[in-house]
């Protein structure tokens, strides 16, 4: 399965009026991401960086959060080998082939998706220094679709800091 970069639309949802020099500011934005379904892993680093640029905030913290119980966010080296290794590790961590209580109750076949999302987590927070997240050399931010079907995800971004 070839990796395909999915375009991400960046949309500003709200921005506080410019604060006095040095006063803290809050910026809220969104990243809309269409996914291909289970274990679609997308590098969202450049789109997040663009949203940070739009915020005008130079120093503070950046939090990105996925609403819902079957999506996850993390960092990794986004290259095909590591992407495949992560998919395999997720499958070993919560196999899709076994029965889950969620399946028995709801009959929707995505109990493993919920377990995987709970283990990986719905958000990541980063320091913001001089308008950039100080990533390691090979580190990118990724969204992981864990549901069994394609979804249209809306990731929420909150940036708090000074300009």
69-126: per-residue pLDDT in tens? 999 999 999 999 999 999 999 999 999 999 999 988 998 999 999 999 999 999 999 9
Q: What pLDDT score does 12 carry?
A: 40
- The span from the CA of 83 to the CA of 39, in Å, is 10
> What fold characterizes domain 23-34+47-67+123-163?
Jelly Rolls (2.60.120)
Q: Quote the distance between the C-alpha of residue 141 and its chain's center.
A: 7
10: pLDDT strictly greater than 80: no
Q: What pLDDT score does 104 carry?
A: 87
| Separation in Å, CA 26 to CA 23, 100, 132 | 10, 41, 16
Closest CA to 27 of 50, 2, 43: 50
Q: What pLDDT score does 21 carry?
A: 65
Span 34-54, mean pLDDT?
97
**Predicted structure pTM score:** 0.86
Domain boundaries defined on the chain = 23-34+47-67+123-163, 78-121
- The span from the CA of 80 to the CA of 69, in Å, is 26
Sheet holding 9-15, edge to edge: 9-15, 25-34, 152-162, 59-65, 123-128
- The span from the CA of 110 to the CA of 58, in Å, is 40
């Amino acid at each position: 399965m070839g990796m395909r970069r999915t375009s991400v639309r960046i949309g500003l949802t709200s921005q506080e009026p410019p604060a006095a020099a040095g006063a803290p500011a809050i910026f809220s934005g969104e990243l809309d991401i269409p996914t291909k379904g289970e274990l679609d892993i997308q590098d969202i680093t450049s789109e997040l960086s663009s949203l940070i640029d739009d915020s005008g905030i130079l120093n503070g913290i950046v939090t990105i959060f996925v609403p819902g119980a079957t999506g996850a966010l993390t960092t990794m080296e986004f290259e095909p080998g590591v992407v495949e290794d992560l998919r395999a590790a997720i499958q070993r961590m919560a196999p899709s082939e076994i029965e889950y209580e969620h399946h028995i109750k709801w009959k929707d076949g995505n109990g493993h998706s919920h377990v995987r999302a709970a283990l990986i987590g719905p958000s990541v927070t980063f320091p913001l220094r001089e308008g950039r997240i100080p990533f390691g050399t090979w580190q990118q931010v990724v969204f992981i679709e864990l549901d069994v079907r394609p979804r249209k995800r809306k990731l929420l971004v909150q940036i708090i800091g000074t300009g």
